[in-house]
């Protein structure tokens, strides 16, 4: 019985507060370095030692992308229901109430209007902390509404995916959201409005198999796991070893599934440039109200290319500064280290 109680007892978890010792310091999942929480937050949840991209809270993600004071919340008016009266280790209703109280939002997504470096956009940001970012009826509905409203307001749509896939507690209803979100994106396509999908760690299952990979541009953060079935399932099925970095963003970029892998520090600037590029020439409208066909000029392409080069140069300079700072810290800490006897 003692052994059974040991396995049943609540495991210690990474603290979310900044008061207790568990909340002040975090361990990087990439290099195992101890990181001061405030330093990690200031660095956009990117490890200052190895540049590993930690999962980012939704509110911090919105604040990073939206110009200050420009975000207008659209979502939050639709709440999930337990149509199947699903029960696993606990009733689905009780599970929903608990996670809603913890996250203070009705489901695993936030949508809204914002300006991205002065460019009007619509944002759809998934919350992995809400039942693993799983896509149920509400998530599908919010994405569909965001796409349709973005089209009505002539806004580009940017989605930030972070999900374990379709929500098993809603059964076939969750699978229907794959078709629903796919069809909703047609509203943007008909008006020639850009849809850029940003894949973060992890993006899997039905989300990968639907709207998340249907963007006019599909980009990802470094090191993100992106797949339908996970690597362990595939390895057990085919009985073969998988290549290094399998299903990570850099691997998929090399295979042509992604258009780019963009570090978080330059994500906003790069997205703004890409939206301008895709919207170049959309200064007129057709008779039906749809955006006019693209009219790219040599001058506009050259300007955008220069902006991309400048963004890349800034990113490289930031990486060099971070490397130099890490070396300085290493030299400062070396004299204080105890010499083994």
The SS3 assignment for 31 reads coil
Same domain for 165 and 68, yes or no, is yes
Same domain for 248 and 125, yes or no, is yes
- Stretch 171-176: mean pLDDT, rounded? 95
Give the residue, 122 or 9, on which the prediction is more confident. Answer: 122
- pLDDT of residue 180 exceeding 80, the answer is yes
What does the pLDDT read at residue 280?
82
Q: CA dist 158 to 188, 234, 252, 294, 321, Å? A: 11, 30, 20, 19, 30
Same domain for 87 and 208, yes or no, is yes
Looking at the chain, how many residues does it have? 341
Same domain for 91 and 157, yes or no, is yes
Q: Are 219 and 259 in contact (CB under 8 A)?
A: yes
Q: Is there a domain that residue 123 lies in?
A: yes
Burial of residue 262 (CB within 10 Å: 0-12, 13-18, 19+) is buried
Same domain for 39 and 138, yes or no, is no
Q: Is there a domain that residue 320 lies in?
A: no
What does the pLDDT read at residue 334?
59
For the stretch 203-231, pLDDT in tens is 999 999 999 999 999 999 999 999 999 99
- pLDDT of residue 292 exceeding 60, the answer is no
- pLDDT of residue 161 exceeding 60, the answer is yes
Of 159, 181, 190, the closest CA to residue 275 belongs to 159
Q: Is there a domain that residue 74 lies in?
A: yes
For the stretch 236-254, pLDDT in tens is 999 999 999 999 999 999 9
For the stretch 87-139, pLDDT in tens is 999 999 999 999 999 999 999 999 999 999 999 999 999 999 999 999 999 99
Using the 3D structure, point to which of 244, 263, 282 is the last residue of a domain.
Answer: 263
Same domain for 37 and 142, yes or no, is no
Same domain for 50 and 150, yes or no, is no
What does the pLDDT read at residue 313?
64
Same domain for 115 and 144, yes or no, is yes
Residue 76 belongs to a domain with what CATH number? 3.90.226.10
Q: How confident is the model at residue 341 (pLDDT cuts 50, 70, 90)?
A: very low
Same domain for 25 and 137, yes or no, is no
User: Can you point out the beta strands (E) in the chain?
Assistant: 25-27, 34-36, 72-73, 109-116, 119-126, 156-163, 195-203, 217-220, 260-261
Q: Is there a domain that residue 92 lies in?
A: yes
For the stretch 260-284, pLDDT in tens is 999 999 999 999 999 999 988 654 4
Q: Which domain holds residue 42?
A: 17-54
Q: Is there a domain that residue 305 lies in?
A: no
For the stretch 103-113, pLDDT in tens is 999 999 999 99
Same domain for 112 and 50, yes or no, is no
Q: Is there a domain that residue 205 lies in?
A: yes
Q: Is there a domain that residue 242 lies in?
A: yes
Lowest mean pLDDT among 109-113, 153-157, 172-176, 332-336: 332-336
Q: For strands 25-27 and 34-36, give the pairing.
A: antiparallel
Using the 3D structure, point to which of 263, 286, 321 is the last residue of a domain.
Answer: 263
Q: Is there a domain that residue 143 lies in?
A: yes
The SS3 assignment for 269 reads helix
Same domain for 26 and 61, yes or no, is no
Using the 3D structure, point to which of 202, 232, 263 is the last residue of a domain.
Answer: 263
- pLDDT of residue 19 exceeding 80, the answer is no
How many domains does the chain divide into?
2
Same domain for 222 and 174, yes or no, is yes
């Amino acid at each position: 019985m003692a052994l059974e109680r040991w396995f049943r007892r609540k495991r210690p978890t990474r603290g979310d507060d900044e008061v207790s010792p568990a909340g002040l310091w975090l361990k990087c999942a990439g290099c195992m370095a101890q990181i001061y929480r405030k330093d990690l937050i200031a660095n956009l949840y990117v490890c200052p030692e190895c540049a590993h991209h930690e999962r980012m809270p939704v509110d911090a993600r919105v604040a990073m992308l939206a110009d200050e004071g420009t975000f207008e919340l659209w979502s939050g008016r639709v709440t999930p229901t337990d149509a199947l009266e699903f029960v696993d280790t606990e009733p689905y209703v009780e599970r929903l109430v608990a996670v809603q109280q913890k996250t203070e939002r009705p489901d695993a997504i936030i949508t809204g209007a914002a300006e991205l470096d002065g460019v009007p956009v619509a944002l759809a940001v998934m919350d992995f902390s809400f039942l693993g970012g799983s896509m149920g009826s509400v998530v599908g509905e919010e994405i569909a509404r965001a796409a349709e409203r973005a089209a009505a307001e002539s806004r580009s749509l940017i989605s930030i995916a972070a999900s374990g896939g379709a929500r098993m507690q809603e059964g076939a209803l969750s699978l229907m959201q794959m078709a629903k979100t796919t069809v909703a994106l047609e509203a943007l396509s008909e008006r020639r409005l850009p849809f850029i999908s940003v894949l973060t760690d992890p993006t899997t299952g039905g989300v990968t198999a639907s709207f998340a990979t249907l963007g006019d541009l599909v980009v990802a953060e470094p090191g993100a796991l992106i797949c339908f079935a996970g690597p362990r399932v595939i390895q057990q099925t085919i009985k073969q070893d998988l290549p290094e970095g399998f299903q990570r963003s850099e691997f998929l970029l090399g295979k042509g599934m992604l258009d780019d892998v963009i570090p978080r520090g330059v994500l906003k600037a790069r997205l703004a440039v890409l939206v301008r590029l895709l919207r170049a020439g959309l200064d007129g409208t057709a008779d039906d109200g749809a955006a006019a066909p693209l009219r790219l000029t040599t001058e506009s392409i050259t300007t955008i290319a220069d902006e991309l080069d400048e963004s890349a140069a800034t990113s490289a300079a930031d990486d060099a500064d971070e490397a130099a700072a890490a070396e300085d810290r290493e030299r400062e800490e070396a004299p204080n280290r105890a010499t083994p006897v």
